[in-house]
Amino acid sequence: MNLIETLKQPWPWYVVGPLIGLTVPLLLIIGNKSFGISSSLRHICAACFPSKIPFFQYEWKKEAWNLFFVFGILLGGIIAASFLANPQPILIEPKLATELSSYGITEINGLMPEQLFSWNQVFTLRGFFVLVIGGFMIGFGTRYAGGCTSGHSIMGLSTLQWPSLVATICFMAGGFLMANFILPLILSL
């Protein structure tokens, strides 16, 4: 099997995890930057709509590296989808597939269900919860917590900070609650 064909397969966790972990020393060595992604949302606010809010009054241009970084992530997505897309449909746990089919999510091909994540869903009640309310909670929650999975769970835990462990436990608790108890109600709408 040639290299490209191999790269098109889903990559295992023991390859992906260490590569993500190496981002921590890489960003430090190339410019003294702390790995973190949710700050990009704050910089966009500071750059576009600071509105005299003290929290958005800082020199966002000094943090512009973070915006280059997240724009890179978007480009990386385009490259992966264009040249390294998995030709096979995604394999998911059968129990999950059964559960999803009870909410009418039956077409499982790409990385996300198109029956949930497409433009014609935006104006449905279900789509409003998933796309709009879900996004709002990400933006509000990460800033309130002072970081997201990258800033707290990876950078914070890598530098052995106990508040980041508390944050990670809360992320997981919120996720368990949503996925098992609340999301089934939303998906049934």
Partner 1 sequence: MDAMCINGSQLEHKWQHKLKYLLVGIVFGIVFVKGEIISWYRIQEMFRLQSFHIYGVIGSAVVVGAISVWLIKKLKLKTIYSEENQFHEKPFNKGIIYGGLLFGLGWAITGACPGPLYAQIGIGYSVIIITLLSAISGTWVYGYFREKLPH
The footprint of partner 1 on residues 111-150 (CB under 8 A) is: 111-113, 116-119, 121-122, 129-150
d(CA 32, CA 30): 6
Cβ neighbors of 141 (< 8 A, separation 6 or more) are 174
Contact between 47 and partner 1 (CB under 8 A)?
A: no
Among 1, 5, 93, 185, binds partner 1 (CB under 8 A): 93
- The only residue of 106, 175, 188, 189 in contact with partner 1, by rule CB under 8 A: 175
> What is the separation, in whole angstroms, between the first and last Cα of the chain?
45
CA-to-CA distance for 162 and 3, rounded, in angstroms?
A: 41
Q: Please, what is the minimum distance in Å from the beta carbon of residue 102 to partner 1?
A: 13
With CB under 8 A as the contact rule, the residue among 10, 104, 107, 125 that binds partner 1 is 10
Give least dist CB 13 to partner 1, A: 3
The distance of closest approach from Cβ of residue 36 to partner 1 in the complex, given in angstroms and rounded to an integer, is 9
Q: Residues 5, 53, 101, 189: which binds partner 1 (CB under 8 A)?
A: 53
Q: Give buried/exposed letters for 71-88 (b at 16+ CB in 10 A, else e).
A: eeeeeeeeeeeeeeeeee
Touching partner 1, residues 62-91 (CB under 8 A): 62-66, 68-81, 84, 90
Q: What DSSP state is assigned to residue 120?
A: G
